[in-house]
Amino acid sequence: MKDQLKKKSDQLTESQVYVNLMVYKRSGQTEGVHTDANGKVVNQHQSVKLVYGSIEWNNYLSKIGIFGYTAVEVKSARRAKAKGGVADMTRADLEFIQTEVDKAMSPSAVELTPEQIELNDLRAKVVALSKASAKTPEELKEDAENLAVLKEQAAQGSKAMEMVERLQKQIEEGSKTSK
């Protein structure tokens, strides 16, 4: 499937394909394209014409999610002919381009930095340790070992150190109540 999409994309970029997009802006806090009683679109909208596969196309799609658009439709696409002039694209080509635009509009997962991943792991450990109520002496010993590991990791960041101090207080309180 991925190979087919790559092949289709390569076919479209072989010659210049002019794509006409209709971009609908958000209307207040609401999502979607709204129409009045006569069927006229209420949202502000504009037409954007780009060349498929060009630098402008790639830049536009990479930033399209932050523009505040509620919908983007592919209205038409035309392929430049070798002898001059243009020819309309097939419905399948329009649908392919529309799926590419929809994919760019959908929110993507944010990649975490190694420091953020480490901090999330430390937070999870703190939450797990704080939820444990009456701990046995063996569990307290494991917590103390975990604390030593956390202190080593915390030497790399001050935020982690705050969590370590909180964890240390919890361990001390837990050891006082278990005696």
Supply angle C-alpha 158, 118, 149, rounded to 5: 75
Q: 134 pLDDT exceeds 70?
A: no
Same domain assignment for residues 152 and 121 = yes
Say yes or no: 101 and 121 in one domain: no
Residues 75 and 127 in one domain: no
Helix segments in the chain, DSSP class H: 2-14, 55-63, 91-105, 114-131, 137-154, 158-178
Number of structural domains in the chain: 2
Residues 123 and 172 in one domain: yes
- 35 and 94 share a domain? yes
pTM of the model: 0.49
Q: Do 80 and 127 share a domain, yes or no?
A: no
Q: How many CA atoms lie within 13 Å of 61's alpha carbon, on the beta-carbon side? A: 20
The pLDDT of residue 19 is 82
Residues 89 and 133 in one domain: no
- Angstrom distance (rounded) from CA 101 to CA 24: 13
32 pLDDT band, cuts 50/70/90, is low
User: Is the model more confident about 147 or about 108?
Assistant: 147
Work out the average pLDDT over 141-163.
73
Range of the domain at 69: 2-105
Q: What pLDDT, in 10s, does the model give residues 59-111?
A: 888 877 766 677 788 888 888 877 777 788 888 888 888 888 888 887 665 56
Least confident window among 81-90, 113-122, 126-135:
126-135
User: pLDDT value at position 166?
Assistant: 81
Residue 75 and residue 137 in one domain? no
State whether 21 and 85 are in the same domain: yes
* 86-88 and 17-25 strand pairing: unpaired
Top mean-pLDDT range of 30-34, 44-48, 74-78, 157-161: 74-78
8 and 67 housed in the same domain? yes
Contact of 33 with 71, CB cutoff 8 Å: yes
Q: What average pLDDT does the structure give for the chain? A: 74
Is residue 123 domain-shared with residue 97, that is, in the same domain? no
Q: By percentage, how much of the chain surpasses pLDDT 70?
A: 66
